């Protein structure tokens, strides 16, 4: 088994993943596949598309999916797990804090300055962004994204596919449904729509909405 890494997705998330992988110092070669881009934003050439993943398995033993859309991310991770010989890795920045008692499952990206505290479980395909805090005894279900400087309170269960936006605090819910444990594309789409409709907030006299940061 070689020490080469394939990153699926060559946009900004892909570059973030590649920088974390380089900082980890355990991969000899890092490359990208993408269905739309020919190069990454910083000019690195893409070696193929997702249709080439099977063929490229000869050259790359390790793989990560660095795509923001959780439906696409989890679908690709499932396909890779079931149909290819790749080892799906998680990328954890050396500049992050991950408790020794926390569990990070496959296909996750833990960015610099993130905190994953005591007894947490981070399920497959999650992204914990720079400066985010996942407090003690919390479970982030499949495909959760805790964005920059967001906080998840202790003893929470964060439903699959949830995106917690930058600076937000996710509070514990008293009622947990069985379906929260599994990714539902329709619920995720509705949640994203609700995020985009939030009332604009004034920042230094200017109105700012979710679309302003897209």
Residue after which a domain boundary falls, among 37, 65, 89 = 89
Give the pairing type, strands 206-208 and 201-203: antiparallel
pLDDT of residue 213: 40
Q: Do 58 and 105 have their domain in common?
A: no
Q: Do 75 and 146 have their domain in common?
A: no
Residue after which a domain boundary falls, among 46, 67, 89 = 89
Q: Do 161 and 130 have their domain in common?
A: yes
Host domain of residue 67: 4-89
What's the number of domains the chain is made of?
A: 2
Q: Do 84 and 42 have their domain in common?
A: yes
Q: Do 65 and 130 have their domain in common?
A: no
Q: Which two tokens stand for residue 47?
A: 């070696």
pLDDT by residue for the chain (214 residues), tens digit each? 899 999 999 999 999 999 999 999 999 999 999 999 999 999 999 999 999 999 999 999 999 999 999 999 999 999 999 999 999 999 999 999 999 999 999 999 999 999 999 999 999 999 999 999 999 999 999 999 999 999 999 999 999 999 999 999 999 886 666 677 777 777 767 766 665 555 444 445 544 443 444 3
Q: Do 37 and 63 have their domain in common?
A: yes
| Within-domain flag for 23 | yes
- The predicted model scores a pTM of 0.85
| Within-domain flag for 207 | no
- Which among 57, 33, 30 is positioned nearest to 47, based on CA atoms? 33
Burial category of 105 from C-beta neighbours within 10 Å (exposed 0-12, middle 13-18, buried 19 and up): middle
pLDDT of residue 189: 73
Residue after which a domain boundary falls, among 66, 89, 112 = 89
């Amino acid at each position: 088994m070689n020490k080469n890494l394939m990153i699926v997705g060559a946009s900004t998330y892909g570059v973030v993943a590649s920088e974390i992988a380089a900082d980890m110092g355990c991969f000899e070669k890092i490359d990208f596949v993408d269905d739309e881009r020919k190069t990454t934003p910083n000019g690195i050439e893409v070696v193929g598309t997702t249709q080439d993943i099977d063929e490229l398995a000869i050259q790359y033993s390790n793989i990560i999916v660095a795509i923001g859309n959780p439906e696409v991310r989890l679908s690709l991770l499932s396909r890779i797990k079931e149909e290819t010989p790749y080892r799906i890795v998680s990328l954890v920045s050396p500049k992050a804090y991950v408790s020794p008692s926390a569990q990070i499952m496959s296909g996750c990206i833990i960015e610099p300055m993130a905190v994953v505290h005591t007894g947490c479980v981070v399920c497959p395909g999650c992204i914990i962004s720079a400066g985010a805090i996942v407090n003690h005894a919390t479970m982030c279900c499949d495909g959760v994204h805790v964005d920059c400087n967001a906080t998840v309170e202790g003893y929470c269960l964060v439903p699959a596919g949830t995106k917690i936006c930058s600076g937000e605090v996710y509070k514990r819910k008293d009622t947990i449904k069985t379906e929260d444990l599994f990714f539902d594309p329709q619920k995720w789409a509705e949640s994203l729509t609700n995020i985009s409709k939030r009332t604009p907030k004034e920042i230094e006299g200017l109105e700012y909405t979710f679309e302003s940061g897209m």
